[in-house]
Structure 1
Amino acid sequence: MACTTILVGKLASYDGSTIVARNEDSPGGQFEPKRMQVVMPSDQPRTYVSSESHLTVELPEEPMRYTSVPDALPGHGVWAAAGFNECNVGMSATETITSNDRVLGADPLVVYTPPQGVAGDASYAPEVPGGLGEEDFVTLVLPYIHSAREGVERLGALLERYGTYEMNGIAFSDLDEIWWMETIGGHHWIAKRVPDDAYVTMPNQLGIDWFDLADAEGEQLEHMASDDLRVWMEENHLDLTMRDADYYMSGDLEYAIDDECDGACDDDADDGVDIIEIDLDRAQDIFNPRDAFGSHSDSDHVYNTPRAWYMQRCLNPRDEWEGPMATWGPESDDIPWARVPERKVTIEDVKYVLSAHYQGTPYDPYGRKGDDASRGLYRPIGINRNGQLAVLQLRPYADRAYRAIQWMAFGSNPFNALVPLYANVDEMPEYLSNTTDRVTTDSFYWTNRIVAALADARFRDNAAHIERYQQKVGGMGHAFLRKTDAVARDLGPDEAPAYLARANAELVSAVRLETEDLLAKVLYTTSCAMKNAFAMSDN
């Protein structure tokens, strides 16, 4: 799947929440319908069989309830995508990421092999199951974990046992921490804690740009990894770090190697870059995973790096992003994985960057700058094949019974709006959960798809309708949370889920009216511009 992710640490967010957000995009030429679902413990399988890889996994006996955003059409797996469990642990899976030939040769992906020949014949070879993948991760992990860190541990153990057939990035969140995990080859993985005061941008590319092996092998304060990572890297010559140089860069941290310096110390960081002095022995533990395990291909410069460039351009606008003085351009391979934003990041900021199509640059397909070649040069974040956007917010000021908010949008993000939903419920509103293959305005997913297709055809004419709708629905969402929180404070833990489910339904009913009104306006505007229009009236 082609996706885009942003992670926001609790000190970087507007209200102290941890925020995990990801677009789930269908592959080129496909549009995978999505829906909302709450999976109750009684509905969670005890024996799981992967559709993609035909792998069978036995699961624990006591799963928790959890929300998910599965594929609406049956037959090719769950693809649960994102959700919260009843312990207020969030998970988003996955961001498909890149690798390189060295990694794939050192630890090949575990790919399904179909049966060969006819059963009973001497030449017959039975099927060989593959490993785990995006289809499986949320279902196998989220119902069983009690913290973000525990999510990394459980998925890491599954990867080491069963392997994977693809490279993926996975986010886990709880009230205090966000962890980002990246798979490496068939069985290896790394994970890094998102700094509390930073945000992380992730296009479809291996992203972590510096890693501390000593921490991963010791206290695991900020880093975790598969147990044999150091030995495996050494055996396969994967570490590309230039440690014999006076200086080397690793993301937004510049390491000065000094054999007389015993620890790490921050220099004056007026330019936003920390200078850290480390001794030569300590330097052996620090490496750049993006260089070791990732890719810097020509296609990355068209498909991936421009998205990170634009997201950071929005959240750190005072930096030089264009022209000869730019630190990073849209095709830079060293755009930082994590940045401290210039101001605290809001839900609206998250929605904006995950809907972006390079507004204000020559690369905007709807813009007036540039020319036909530049406007189609880079892959937008808000693309026609966005299926769903889930923003997982854990609010520290709210009681655990109503702390977890799963903001949802469906369809192409430039044309939709986020709707906040309380996750501590037993069911989701039908308008969000009833998606099938039938195209109908009774479904929030399909209504958004129709709006987007009509509005795209006359983008400038419809832009005002879309902006007013997005702001109105956004305001309704924040007002809804304030009002519902005030009532939920006085409810007992047994009363809260039913009340929150009713509140979700009431908000969604109001959003449905606004969405249908938007559809009517967009339909009228685009109909007036049809090519078979004629000025002379019959009247």
Structure 2
Amino acid sequence: MDYTTHSTCTTILVGKNASYDGSTIIARNEDAGVAVNPKKFVVVQPEDQPRNYQSKLSKFSIKLPDNPVRYTSVPDATPEKGIWGEAGVNAHNVAMSATETITTNPRILGADPLVKNGLGEEDLLTITLPYIKSAKAGVERVGSLLEKYGTYESNGIIFSDVNDIWYMETAGGHHWVAQRIPDDSYVIAPNQTGIQEIDFDDPDHFMYASDLKNFVEQHHLNLSDNFNFRKIFGSDTQLDHHYNTPRAWYGQRYFNPETVKDKSPMSHDLSFICHANRKITIEDIKFVLSSHYQDTPYDPFTPGNDSQKMPFRPIGFNRNQELSVIQLRPYVPSDYSAIQWLAFAANPSNTLVPFFTNVQDTPDCYRDTTKIVDSQNAYWENRLISLIAADHYHAVMDDIEAYQDQLMGYGHKRITHIDNKVEGLSGSKLTASLQAANEKTADHVVKATRKLLTTMLTKTSNGVAGSFDRKHY
């Protein structure tokens, strides 16, 4: 079985007192094992939710409850390898992002082996999000599933509501822990076990597998006096130093450089819970999740650098498939407080688009992605742009940055406009108005993206290898 198709994500979590507007914000790049893995953005209605769920890869199956609610999802374009729903918001304004693939050390895998036919990233959003009414309830549901069925991989799983963000990490086949992210804090999680000290006497901030302490004691897994989940369950390998920790280092360097000034990109002791030196914006999150070590010697796009020989894996790169930044706002009515900012394909060259989630359907240019290239579709437009940008970075980045700035400004303007337009509406009238507004937003963005693609093709086509200019002869 191939479980590596989606395995290399980067997560940012921002508590409500750390964000610019008091929202809880969760964000995660979905990165595939290949450059092209088409994605779509959909609404799943209760009548379309499976009652007897069967995974494609691990053959895990489960009978699901009979009371699902509507939710958004960003699944694969076609389901032959499973759903891979990844990120969404349900009708109760609970958000989920799954998963951040993480690492577990051999001692843990020996004591609690992974379960070949257990659950995994392919399944988690579908079998969880439609059934939970709070972020904490999401941890409780997944925790019970893990202890009963086991998992075939180690993952970080994110839940949020308007008040709380919970980050959950699995270890081995059946064990897990979850931490509530403090309101004044942020987290960057880069494919590596992150949670550190566990306070077993603080149920408001920590949850864990029922036998976690006994399991660790029985198998002699704790090598220190403190219960540090990362040190007990995680790994600290050469791959971590080159593939994982540099991403956390760069993000922390951006948000609070004073704390990492004496640390290297390969530092094994970077903090999990961090505090920025300012309030964090949507643009900040997008910058970090698009970054490739700008203004450091490790940027593959610096003239003279060989991108194939750079020592560290970038955050924004060709294998980004979609980025969902989910913002749950406390200062507007709950019926239109949830926004799923969405970007497709490689983050250095795309832009976030805000979609209200209390809708019955999504715009067709985001919903109807196929595996065949379609220049009218948002995923494929952005995939084509990313391909051109990779080979002509310095020639087209001015055009891309102008496009990004213009559309991020447009996105914020649209949110304010839509908030004002729907004020006082409720029920089906509100839902219909939000859906129509999403359609207008998507139409504007797709037209602007198509214009950028045309500009880039025109600018770069004349200088390709094999071109010939008669005036030189």
Q: Normalising by the residue count of structure 1, what TM-score does the alignment of the two structures yield?
A: 0.85
Which residue of structure 2 aligns with residue 114 of structure 1?
none
Task: Give yes or no for the alignment of 1:309 onto 2:228.
Answer: no
Bigger helix fraction: 2
CA distance in 2, matches of 1:313, 1:384: 23
Of 216, 219, 229, the match for 1:233? 216
Which residue of structure 2 aligns with residue 503 of structure 1?
437
Task: Give yes or no for the alignment of 1:36 onto 2:19.
Answer: no
Which residue of structure 2 aligns with residue 222 of structure 1?
205
CA distance in 2, matches of 1:292, 1:175: 32
Of 252, 276, 282, the match for 1:347? 282
CA distance in 2, matches of 1:202, 1:320: 16
CA distance in 2, matches of 1:187, 1:156: 9
Q: Please state how far the C-alpha of 1:403 moved relative to its aligned partner.
A: 0.5
Which residue of structure 1 aligns with residue 30 of structure 2?
24
Q: Is the 8 A contact 2:242 2:313 kept in 1?
A: yes
Which residue of structure 1 aligns with residue 417 of structure 2?
483
Structure 1 SS opposite 2:40: coil
Match runs of 1:431-446 below 5 Å: 431-446=365-380
Of 361, 376, 381, the match for 1:427? 361
Of 147, 151, 155, the match for 2:138? 151
Which residue of structure 2 aligns with residue 278 of structure 1?
none
CA distance in 2, matches of 1:61, 1:395: 29
Cα displacement string for residues 292-345 of structure 1 (whole angstroms, at most 9, x for unaligned residues): 000000011110000000011111134453xxxx1x210000111111100000
Cα displacement string for residues 60-90 of structure 1 (whole angstroms, at most 9, x for unaligned residues): 1110000000000221110000000000000
Which residue of structure 2 aligns with residue 60 of structure 1?
65
Aligned length: 467
Amino acid in the other structure paired with 2:268: D
Q: Is the 8 A contact 2:35 2:318 kept in 1?
A: no
Amino acid in the other structure paired with 2:328: L
Which residue of structure 2 aligns with residue 81 of structure 1?
86
CA distance in 1, matches of 2:252, 2:313: 16
Structure 2 SS opposite 1:76: coil
Of 313, 337, 342, the match for 1:379? 313
Of 451, 456, 461, the match for 1:522? 456
Which residue of structure 1 aligns with residue 465 of structure 2?
531
Amino acid in the other structure paired with 1:4: T
Cα displacement string for residues 418-475 of structure 1 (whole angstroms, at most 9, x for unaligned residues): 0000000010000001101110111100010000101111100101000000011101
CA distance in 2, matches of 1:50, 1:4: 24
Q: Is the 8 A contact 1:363 1:374 kept in 2?
A: no
Cα displacement string for residues 155-191 of structure 1 (whole angstroms, at most 9, x for unaligned residues): 0001111000000000000000000000110011100
CA distance in 2, matches of 1:365, 1:11: 35
CA distance in 2, matches of 1:31, 1:232: 41
CA distance in 1, matches of 2:61, 2:472: 67
Of 177, 199, 202, the match for 2:189? 202
Which residue of structure 1 aligns with residue 3 of structure 2?
none
Q: Is the 8 A contact 1:362 1:368 kept in 2?
A: no
Structure 2 SS opposite 1:287: coil
Q: Is the 8 A contact 2:90 2:130 kept in 1?
A: yes
CA distance in 1, matches of 2:427, 2:22: 24
CA distance in 1, matches of 2:433, 2:378: 22
Task: Give yes or no for the alignment of 1:457 onto 2:440.
Answer: no
CA distance in 2, matches of 1:474, 1:233: 47
Structure 2 SS opposite 1:354: helix
CA distance in 1, matches of 2:56, 2:109: 23
Q: 1:374 to 1:388 in 2, by over 3 A?
A: closer
Task: Give yes or no for the alignment of 1:513 onto 2:453.
Answer: no
Q: Is the 8 A contact 1:363 1:375 kept in 2?
A: no
Gaps of 5+ in 1: 112-129, 244-285
Match runs of 1:108-507 below 5 Å: 108-111=113-116, 130-215=117-202, 220-241=203-224, 243=225, 286-321=226-261, 326=262, 328-368=263-303, 371-372=305-306, 376-507=310-441
Amino acid in the other structure paired with 2:197: W
- Runs (4+) off by over 3 Å: 371-375, 534-539
Of 96, 105, 114, the match for 2:110? 105
CA distance in 1, matches of 2:93, 2:148: 27
Q: Is the 8 A contact 1:23 1:388 kept in 2?
A: yes
Q: Please state how far the C-alpha of 1:493 moved relative to its aligned partner.
A: 2.7
Amino acid in the other structure paired with 2:240: D
Q: 1:373 to 1:417 in 2, by over 3 A?
A: closer
Structure 1 SS opposite 2:121: coil
Of 6, 11, 14, the match for 1:5? 11
Q: Please state how far the C-alpha of 1:407 moved relative to its aligned partner.
A: 0.2
Structure 1 SS opposite 2:176: strand
CA distance in 2, matches of 1:83, 1:342: 29
Amino acid in the other structure paired with 1:70: P
Q: Please state how far the C-alpha of 1:51 moved relative to its aligned partner.
A: 1.0
Structure 1 SS opposite 2:195: coil
CA distance in 2, matches of 1:227, 1:33: 39
Structure 2 SS opposite 1:23: strand
CA distance in 2, matches of 1:108, 1:317: 39
Q: Is the 8 A contact 1:362 1:375 kept in 2?
A: no
CA distance in 1, matches of 2:421, 2:371: 38
Structure 2 SS opposite 1:350: helix
Q: Please state how far the C-alpha of 1:537 moved relative to its aligned partner.
A: 3.9
CA distance in 2, matches of 1:179, 1:196: 11
Q: Is the 8 A contact 2:10 2:30 kept in 1?
A: yes
Identity of aligned residues (%): 50
Cα displacement string for residues 479-537 of structure 1 (whole angstroms, at most 9, x for unaligned residues): 00000000111212331111101000001100011001100111112112212233434
Q: Is the 8 A contact 1:40 1:66 kept in 2?
A: yes
